[in-house]
Amino acid sequence: METLKPFFSTHPIYILHSGEVVPSVTQIIGAVIAKPELIKWANQLGLKNKNVDEEKKATQDIGKLLHAYIEADLEGAVVDEEGYTQEQINLAKKSFNQYLIWKRDKQIKTIKIEYMMISEKYKYGGTLDALLEINDELTLLDWKTSNSISLDYKLQLAAYLYLLQEQNIIPNKVGLLRVPKDGSNFEYYEARADEHIKNYGEAWIKALDWYRALSKLYQKV
């Protein structure tokens, strides 16, 4: 049986055929959408004399471990947990248990996992969590350990749909699976892919344009 080694807080680099490095979907969204809940979280950490960067890295690593557990489940592998603390393992497994509850009544076939894509047309890149056949429908699936399914996650799905379309891959559905680290019940957002693009595609393209406009301004400073 294959053993998966999760990566620690790493970010892929997206490079066009020309050699130009382009931004990621999450980088673009992070620059153009305010996240007041993160400011509140950072303030709370400060009051507890905790280092924000260290706590952020620990949270990201839990997410990476969760990704590895789900990927291993979808591919019939096991996870190498070396380098993770017992607390991180326990939190990731709480989220993973909610994933197992979500998938219990579904027929799932894995098409692609951690699939890296780059758009030569729009000049950005992204790595989707999974492309699956769920009950015989091709579904773009992303999973989160956040406190809610927020707007930026839905924009992220729209960005991934544009990337897939550029490769002539057309999913039937999109899904966002929220599996909290505290073990509370999962939340699932699902939509037809064409409806999702209709509702969020224009906003994503405008977010991309705004990111580029901001980047040009910062270059002049």
Q: Would the pLDDT of 146 be above 90?
A: no
pLDDT in tens, 73-126: 999 999 998 888 999 999 999 999 999 999 999 999 999 999 999 999 999 999
For Cα atoms 28, 110, 165, give the angle at the middle one, nearest 5 degrees: 45
Q: What is the mean pLDDT of residues 25-32?
A: 92
The one-character DSSP state at 211 is H
Confidence (pTM): 0.87
Closest CA to 175 of 137, 135, 139, 126: 139
Residue 59: per-residue pLDDT: 59
Residue 57: the pLDDT is 52
CA distances from 100 to 48, 70, 93, 108, 177 (A): 34, 9, 10, 12, 11
- pLDDT band of residue 163 (cuts 50, 70, 90) is very high
The pair phi, psi for residue 49, each rounded to 5°, is 60, 40
Confidence of residue 138 (pLDDT cuts 50, 70, 90): very high
Mean pLDDT of the chain: 86
